[in-house]
């Protein structure tokens, strides 16, 4: 029987996750673990590049761990762990820093954007973020990495560093590929359909949080921006209705033509209510399961402890090979 390819994915515990995050990534994880050897990390070290309230970071870390499980990740089948619990991530970052060039990091689009957004805290970690991400991936000899548009540049750097190291020191790292799943709907703001749905939206009616209860979800959809006219069709001149149709199709599995036919002749009010109900039906059970898991921190701690132990075994197998290749003496056990 052929071994499964290994897939690595990580999300930062930086607060609210939106419907867009769920549809774009989280909902796929349950299915991905069926077909791949899944390693899923809570990327808590990455969050430190932006100032964090320690109590909030701890809370968000538990919340994301519970959400991973509520979305279908089985800790018995997949490896689920905290990035900070496996020191090899930081150790490999130092080695990779020695073959990475400042120009490569200063050209990163996300570094430029975050530097503008956090002018009072342009730290070295913010620039070095992509090297830590490369370490996350390369430690586990990942074949595939699901990435959004904002992370493609970082994955390219990980590939470049893997090839550069392999060429200099001999075959060591698997060169990862981007995982391209089914095309995910691009989820836009409910308040301004010209912008991507974002947790940083100052207008709380613009995004659906995974923590929103059924009433809040329906209320936000009732307030969603629509367009002139009365047709419920997906067209370039109807961005509000097009966005709502995309969301409806994403949560129900219906095609765009099926959705348009279903709402033919219906009013905007009925349409928005139906979309809200469909979304609530999907995310409310996840919210409730996440909250149930959060009542049992001992269970979550146990999952993370076991996950870190499993991750360490894989990570240090790679790191020991790296140390040997670069000429560092192996520690005698």
Query: Is 196 tagged catalytic?
Result: yes
**Choosing from 114, 220, 272, 274, which is the catalytic residue?**
114
Query: What's the rounded Cα separation, in Å, for the pair 66 and 49?
Result: 23
**Residue 1 in 3-state DSSP?**
coil
Nearest to 36 by CA among 73, 67, 5, 72: 5
Tokens describing residue 290: 């996440």
Q: Which residues contact 301 (CB under 8 A, 6 or more apart)?
A: none
Tokens describing residue 294: 């959060």
Four-residue CA torsion sign, 248, 252, 258, 261: negative
**CA angle in degrees (0–180, nearest 5) for 228-232-238:** 45
**Residue 268 in 3-state DSSP?**
helix
**Choosing from 59, 196, 254, 325, which is the catalytic residue?**
196
Tokens describing residue 282: 């999907």
Query: Is 114 tagged catalytic?
Result: yes
Query: Is 305 tagged catalytic?
Result: no
**Choosing from 59, 112, 152, 199, which is the catalytic residue?**
199
The residues assigned a catalytic role are 114, 196, 199
């Amino acid at each position: 029987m052929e071994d499964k390819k290994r897939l690595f994915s990580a999300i930062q515990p930086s607060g609210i996750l939106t419907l867009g995050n769920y549809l774009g990534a989280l909902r796929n994880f349950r299915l991905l673990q069926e077909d791949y050897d899944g390693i899923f990390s809570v990327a808590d070290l990455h969050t430190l590049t932006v100032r964090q309230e320690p109590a909030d970071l701890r809370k968000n870390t538990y919340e994301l761990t519970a959400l991973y499980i509520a979305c279908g990740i089985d800790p018995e089948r997949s490896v689920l762990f905290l990035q900070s619990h496996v020191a090899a991530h930081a150790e490999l970052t130092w080695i990779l820093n020695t073959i990475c060039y400042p120009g490569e990091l200063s050209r990163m689009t996300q570094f430029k954007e975050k530097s503008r957004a956090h002018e009072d805290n342009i730290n070295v970690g913010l620039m070095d973020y992509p090297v830590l991400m490369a370490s996350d991936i390369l430690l586990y000899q990942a074949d595939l990495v699901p990435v959004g548009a904002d992370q493609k540049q970082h994955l390219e750097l990980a590939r470049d560093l893997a090839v550069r190291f392999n060429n200099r020191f001999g075959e060591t790292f698997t060169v990862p590929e981007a995982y391209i799943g089914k095309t995910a709907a691009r989820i836009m703001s409910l308040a301004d359909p010209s912008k991507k749905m974002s947790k940083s939206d100052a207008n709380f009616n613009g995004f659906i949080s995974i923590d929103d209860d059924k009433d809040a979800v329906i209320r936000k959809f009732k307030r969603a921006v629509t367009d002139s006219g009365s047709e419920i069709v997906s067209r370039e001149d109807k961005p509000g209705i097009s966005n709502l149709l995309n969301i409806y199709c994403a949560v129900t599995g219906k095609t765009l033509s099926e959705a348009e036919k279903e709402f033919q002749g219906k009013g905007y009010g009925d349409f928005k209510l139906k979309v809200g109900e469909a979304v609530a039906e999907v995310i409310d059970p996840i919210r409730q399961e996440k909250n149930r898991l959060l009542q049992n921190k001992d269970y979550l701690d146990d999952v993370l402890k076991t996950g870190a132990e499993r991750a360490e075994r894989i990570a240090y197998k790679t790191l020991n090979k790296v140390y040997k290749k670069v000429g560092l003496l192996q520690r005698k056990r």
